[in-house]
Structures are given as structure tokens and as C-alpha cells.
Amino acid sequence: MATSFSPKILTNIFLVLVVTAAMYAAKATDHKETKLSFYLHDIAAFGDPKATTIPVAGIAGKAWTFTQFGTVYVVDDNITKTPDPKSPKVAQFQGLYVTAALDGLRAFATASILFTNEEYNRSTIQIQGTNQDPDTEVAVVGGTGKFRFARGYATSKIYFLDTATQHSVVQLNVTVQTS
Ligand SMILES: *[C@@H]1O[C@H](CO)[C@@H](O)[C@H](O)[C@H]1NC(C)=O
Ligand SMILES: *[C@@H]1O[C@H](CO)[C@@H](O)[C@H](O)[C@H]1NC(C)=O
Ligand SMILES: *[C@@H]1O[C@H](CO)[C@@H](O)[C@H](O)[C@H]1NC(C)=O
């Protein structure tokens, strides 16, 4: 008995293909978006025992400063819910800054936002980009835990700066999409 595709079978196959394609299309765009906003507390004073941003390398014979090309800093800032350093702790900001512009005007940053709060405990968001004071935007290049497959962006601006003590509070907004 010869089998042949009747127009009805062909229509059914076509419908199945359309529905499957639509499901994939929906899945591809059905990302969960999370917006976070919090504050970094930074102490950059050279020699301050409480410093959280410390230069660890630079060009021999040059001062290791933010405006000197080649200076490498390691950073570990507390991140809290509000600008008040005593407000609930949300995360740590741990990574590196490198003054990566020959004119000293920009630094390249690569860091992990390592959550310690209850909601995202032990999950991370990885950020990378160039800081451009006063308003910086960097890329979210990945994440772990609740932020697996994360992508997005983060913006920051200085909320408070005491130039004498080099204490600063930086507002950080992060928008991430996860699948
Ligand atoms: C960071 O937070 C911890 C408490 O979790 C606190 O003991 C420490 O002093 C804070 N560090 C700075 C530099 O504010
Ligand atoms: C985060 O996880 C660690 C290890 O599982 C646990 O000790 C800690 O209490 C948790 N913190 C919060 C705020 O849930
Ligand atoms: C963060 O988001 C808040 C609320 O939308 C906004 O007022 C603030 O300007 C944003 N800050 C940054 C650094 O993007």
C-alpha cells in the first residue's frame, strides 16, 4: 500500500512546524529582567589601613595613581542597600581597576558583585568595562547562581565624595536579563 501525504496531513505538519517555531521564538525572548540599585563604599586613600582600593602595580619610576597609565588597583568594596554604610549589606564588589588610557583619563574595570544578602546569597554578577567619570556604564558579561546566563548593563555615579579622606559612596544600578 503506497503512502501519500494528503493535503490534510501536510496542513497538520505545517501547523506543527508553525507552533514549534512560535514556541522557540517565545522562549528566545522570554527573558527575566531584574533591576537592582545599591551603593558601594570605597576608601582609596593610599596608606589608610581601612583602604578598600589599593594600587598593587604600576610603571616603574611613575607614581601609582588613578591618572597614571598602567596603574593596577585591587578593590574590595562593601555594597549596601542605601548610601548609609550601616544599612543592610547586600554584596561585595571585588575586582581590578587598571588605568588603561595613556592620557590617564579612563580606567578599565573587571569585577564580581558577590551577593551576601538572603535573596541572592552566593550568586554573582560579573561586570566589565571602562569607567568614565562622572557617569559610567559597564557591561554585565555573566553571572552565577540566580544570575546564570546574565547579560545586561550597570550604571554608576558618585553619590558622595570626600576628597580629603578619599572616602566615596557610589550608586550602582544593574539591569540584568537571565533566561
Ligand atoms: C564592610 O562591612 C563589614 C561588615 O560586614 C564591616 O565590618 C567593615 O568595617 C566594612 N568595611 C568598610 C571599609 O566599611
Ligand atoms: C549565605 O550562605 C552561607 C553558606 O551557605 C550561610 O552561612 C549564610 O548564613 C547565608 N547568608 C544569608 C544572609 O542567608
Ligand atoms: C539609578 O536608578 C534610579 C531610579 O531609577 C535613578 O534615579 C538614578 O539616577 C540611577 N542611577 C544611576 C547611577 O544610574
Q: Using H for helix, E for strand and C for coil, what is the string for 74-141?
A: EEEEEEECCCCCCCCEEEEEEEEEEECCCCCCCEEEEEEEEECCCCCCCCEEEEEEEECCCEEEEEEE
136 Cβ inside 6 Å of ligand 3: no
pLDDT digits (tens, 9 = 90+) for 111-133: 999 999 999 999 999 999 998 87
Q: Is residue 92 part of a domain?
A: yes
Ligand 3 neighbourhood includes 37 CB (under 6 angstroms): yes
User: pLDDT (tens digit, 9 = 90+) per residue, 146-169?
Assistant: 999 999 999 999 999 999 999 999
State the residue range of the domain holding 87. Answer: 32-178
In which residue ranges of the chain is pLDDT below 70? 1-11, 13-29
Q: Which atom of ligand 2 is nearest to the CA of 121?
A: 1
Domain-located, residue 139: yes
Residue 85's pLDDT is 96
Which residues have C-beta atoms less than 6 Å from ligand 2? 117-118, 121-122
Could you tell me the distance, in angstroms and rounded to a whole number, from the CA of residue 152 to the centre of ligand 1? 28
- Whether 109 maps to a domain, the answer reads yes
Residue 16 placed within a domain? no
Q: Which atom of ligand 1 is closest in space to residue 85's alpha carbon? A: 14
> Could you tell me if residue 22 is inside a domain?
no
Is position 14 within any domain?
no
Residue nearest to atom 13 of ligand 1 (CA): 50
Query: What is the value of pTM for the model shown?
Result: 0.85
pLDDT of residue 38: 98
Tell me the CATH number at 171.
2.40.480.10
For 102, other C-beta atoms within 10 Å of its C-beta total: 9
The total number of structural domains in the chain stands at: 1
Please report whether residue 88 resides in a domain: yes
Instruction: Classify residue 25: in a domain, yes or no.
Output: no
